[in-house]
A and B are shown apart, each in its own frame.
Chain A
Amino acid sequence: KAGVTQTPRYLIKTRGQQVTLSCSPISGHRSVSWYQQTPGQGLQFLFEYFSETQRNKGNFPGRFSGRQFSNSRSEMNVSTLELGDSALYLCASSLALGGQETQYFGPGTRLLVL
């Protein structure tokens, strides 16, 4: 079974631009979560989607948004990029929500904002 895939793997943008990252979950998985990883803040939860609905959201500004499609693929969007948005963005998928479900992570998209 193919793992979680994320595209693109690397991205360079300038301040003020917007960016869209894509995540394809493991086949059959219906929950997709997004995390931001930076050297200073570590790994932080962004949001989680299940059945095309956002179920949970972390403490990030409204510039960060996401969505999930009927095939469970997910996208996240960051508008008006700031230098501090430079990070590794990780997507994870699981069969269902919460509890004892294991989240399987993709390789990440590394975003550099200049």
Chain B
Amino acid sequence: AQSVTQLDSHVSVSEGTPVLLRCNYSSSYSPSLFWYVQHPNKGLQLLLKYTSAATLVKGINGFEAEFKKSETSFHLTKPSAHMSDAAEYFCVVRGGGGSQGNLIFGKGTKLSVKP
């Protein structure tokens, strides 16, 4: 069965410093992985997705993630945090086999950005 584990429930950084949100996945075959962001009282917005074309995936708003099969990780990074990045971030894996359609979400990481 597919699953994701977000290693930090809350991350706090200062504006202008790097962001690292950690995610490990479990999958019995090559996974489709996503990062979504949710701002307060808003829906989910796709940041980026990994679909086996390239291990380093660039997303919107300066975010990127690297797929590391040997470490079963898909960590999200950004070189310099902005106040507007404060939100909740979800690492997501696509279910497979008979449940190929649905997304399986991690518990989320709340990112706080201090001025």
Contact = CB atoms under 8 A, between A and B. Distances in A.
Contacts of B46: 102-104
Secondary structure call for the A interface: strand
B94 A98 contact: yes
Interface residues of B, number: 24
Contacts of B106: 42
B42 A43 contact: no
Contacts of B32: 99-100
Contacts of A48: 101-102
Among B46, B94, B102, the one with the most A-chain Cβ atoms within 10 Å of its Cβ is: B102
A42 B102 contact: no
A99 B100 contact: yes
Nearest to B107: A42
Interface size class of A (residues with CB under 8 A): 20 to 34
B54 to A, nearest CB: 13
Contact of B42 (A35, A100, A107): A107
A46 to B, nearest CB: 9
Contact of A98 (B43, B101, B104): B101
A112 to B, nearest CB: 14
A85 B96 CA distance: 27
Given A42-B105, A56-B101, 20 more contacts: A31-B101, A33-B101, A33-B102, A33-B103, A35-B103, A35-B105, A43-B105, A43-B108, A48-B102, A55-B101, A56-B98, A58-B102, A97-B101, A102-B34, A102-B46, A103-B46, A105-B43, A105-B44, A105-B45, A106-B43
